[in-house]
């Protein structure tokens, strides 16, 4: 294969696979280490999951389009920037995704919130949808799905599919900890969805937990175990 064909092939692969970005800002990494510790209690865990959610969305929205607007300050008229383009919807996958919402809304207070309820069967690891509620005209908005854990990728793919069925075309996924299997599964089934993570961990264990991970995110957030 000539170099040109190889480069073309890699480019094509990247396009087909979708984009995966690890947001390794030092503040994000530091906070993630705190919530990984088994000694971190519910209160601190919940607060920091929200904080990381906010920092991640701050990084993810760097490329939001701006437009010029004429305004008047107390001193006089001026042309300044404001956000243009699609409005955002934050979509937590219940339960654990709820932990990231507050932090995201601190960055984007005008964002709407849609909810998708999903749980993983502990035996089969297959996800089951039990709730779906979106704001009106969701298909005209950009949806940012938030969930702390991307393990097999089953829940994320089901959530993305549920949004696409309702006509949503602009979707991003933000997770705290991603397993390589989950990243691959979403890239394969939904190559148009960009994935952002605070970390990509070593592996997915046979019981469905991510190693080293942070344990069961939902249970740690809500104190249910």
Ligand X SMILES: O=P(O)(O)OC[C@H]1O[C@H](OP(=O)(O)OP(=O)(O)O)[C@H](O)[C@@H]1O
| Residues at the interface with ligand URA (CB under 6 A) | 96, 149, 151, 208-210, 213, 216-218
120 marked among binding-site residues: yes
Binding mask 163-202 for Mg ion (x = CB under 5 A): ----------------------------------------
63 annotated binding-site participant: no
| Alpha-helical regions (H) of the chain | 3-17, 26-36, 42-60, 98-107, 154-165, 180-189, 217-222
Known binding residue 147? Answer is: yes
- Note if 120 is an active site residue: yes
Return d(Cα 86, Cα 78) in angstroms, integer.
Answer: 24
Closest CA to 176 of 63, 62, 49: 49
Out of 78, 124, 169, 224, which one is annotated catalytic? 124
Strand partners, 82: 67
For strands 210-211 and 170-178, give the pairing. unpaired
CA distance 56 to 100: 10
CB closer to ligand URA, 135 vs 208: 208
Stretch that binds ligand X, among 60-68, 164-172, 191-199, 210-218 (CB under 6 A): 210-218
What is the spatial distance between Cα 10 and Cα 188, in angstroms, rounded to a whole number? 15
> Taking CB within 5 to 8 Å according to partner kind, which of ligand URA, ligand X, Mg ion, none is near residue 210?
ligand URA
CA distance 219 to 225: 6
**148 in a labelled binding site:** yes
Q: Which stretch binds ligand X (CB under 6 A): 13-21, 42-50, 79-87, 142-150?
A: 142-150
Q: Which residues are catalytic?
A: 120, 124, 216, 219
């Amino acid at each position: 294969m000539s170099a040109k064909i190889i480069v073309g092939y890699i480019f094509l692969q990247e396009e087909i696979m979708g984009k995966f970005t690890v947001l390794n800002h030092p503040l994000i990494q530091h906070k993630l280490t705190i919530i990984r510790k088994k000694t971190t209690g519910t209160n601190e865990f919940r607060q920091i999951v929200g904080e990381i959610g906010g920092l991640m969305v701050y990084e993810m929205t760097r490329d939001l389009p701006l437009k010029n607007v004429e305004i008047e300050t107390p001193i006089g008229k001026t042309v300044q920037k404001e956000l243009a383009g699609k409005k955002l919807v934050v979509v937590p996958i219940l339960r654990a995704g709820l932990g990231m919402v507050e932090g995201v809304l601190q960055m984007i207070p005008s964002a709407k919130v849609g909810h998708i309820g999903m749980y993983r069967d502990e035996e089969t690891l297959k996800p089951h949808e039990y709730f779906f509620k979106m704001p009106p005209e969701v298909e005209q908005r950009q949806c940012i799905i938030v969930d702390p854990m991307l393990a097999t990728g089953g829940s994320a793919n089901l959530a993305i599919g549920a949004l696409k069925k309702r006509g949503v075309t602009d979707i991003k996924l933000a997770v705290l900890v991603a397993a390589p299997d989950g990243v691959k599964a979403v890239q394969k089934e939904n190559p148009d969805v960009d994935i952002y993570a605070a970390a990509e961990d070593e592996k997915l264990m046979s019981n469905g937990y991510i190693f080293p991970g942070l344990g069961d995110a939902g249970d740690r957030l809500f104190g249910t175990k």
